[in-house]
Copies of this chain bind each other. A is one copy, B any other.
């Protein structure tokens, strides 16, 4: 959730047209359903109830049904959903019927790991190019792909029909890379650099920041600790700063 602009639904021109314009929250869950469905399919299930799929995906069944209803999906009352059919539908909606080519820029620590991550290949993506600005990295081969200089991006984008750009550079380089990606026509960017990118209307950016995830957990950890720290003590504490960390107990691990 962050930089997303939606072109505004085209005012109902007649018969329901192209993609059903799903709620963003639903879109974010479809991939998880898809994963769960593949798992079920591998286990030999041909059909699954909303309850069963919801469990496998870690959501509740009402939400799942509402999500699927947005796809206009057809389950069978009294029976459930056809696993194979649902997989096809979700893959279609997510635009995964074609294998998308991804360009990864920044082959440092994290970039290296991403370049070698099988999860991409197995879930509809093809890392089509590795790029970096550091001359000492050019030519290195990772997982069968040779690292090329980021200036070759225009050529690479054209040759490989790059659909999505992934930025795994240090923060100071990220905006320039984003600009270059946009310049060659990339309209979807996944950004691992801890910074805000500014991009023109119509370009989608998603951000993954590993430290942020930890900080969110830290908040909950902190909160749980403060709650158990005061069994029923009504007053006494001034937990917001001024005098920082007055009662910042060391969060008991265990009970």
Contact = CB atoms under 8 A, between A and B. Distances in A.
A93 B221 contact: no
A163 B58 contact: no
Contact of A98 (B162, B194, B237, B250): B250
Nearest to A239: B18
Contacts of A184: 253-254
Interface in A170-219: 184-190, 194-196, 202, 204, 206, 208-219
Q: Identify the interface centre among A56, A59, A119, A214: most chain B CB within 10 Å of its CB.
A: A214
B221 A188 contact: yes
A142 B157 CA distance: 35
Contacts of A232: 13
Contact of A187 (B100, B102, B188, B224): B224
Contact of A210 (B32, B120, B187, B255): B120
B7 A227 contact: yes
A31 B215 contact: yes
Interface in A108-153: 109-110, 112-114, 116-117, 119-120, 122-125
B248 A97 contact: yes
10 shortest interchain CB distances as A-B pairs:
A95-B222, A113-B113, A185-B254, A58-B196, A185-B253, A31-B215, A188-B217, A18-B226, A31-B212, A123-B211
